[in-house]
Amino acid sequence: MSILKTDDEKKWINAFVISCAVIVGYVSIRFILQMGDWFDLESKIPYFVNSTHATGVILGIAFLVFIKTNQKSAQYFSEVYSELVKVIWPDKDSIFKLTIGILVALVVVSGILILVDYIFNFILNLIY
């Protein structure tokens, strides 16, 4: 059963592009603030934090406008959405069973690695 419907294409694509624009803005703000810490830009540039936030918002909006006006990206997202509509997602019962299987396998592999670690530690303690 597919979660996505073919008539919701524009809504999902717009939500994805807006989410990416917010991430671009946030990452750019964090990057500029980190650069400010490294090069002590807070003392050299007046209103550094405000200008950093404004730059992040401008970059996010520029990303959004660029993606929305580019025909190749619109076609690409439309093709991606049409492929996602075809995906058959697993049901709750199979997800639960697979998660339990992964957890059991994780515990077994972790136990083996801990056992090997203790054996090597014991051997090294005998040598040294």
Domain residue ranges in the chain? 1-88, 90-128
Global pTM reads: 0.68
Rounded distance between C-alpha atoms, residue 21 and residue 10, angstroms: 16
Task: Summarize pLDDT for 65-112 with one digit per residue, the tens.
Answer: 999 999 999 999 999 998 988 888 899 999 999 999 999 999 999 999
Query: At residue 3, does pLDDT exceed 80?
Result: no
The CB-side HSE value for 109 (13 A sphere, CA atoms) comes to 6
Amino acid, single-letter form, for residue 118: Y
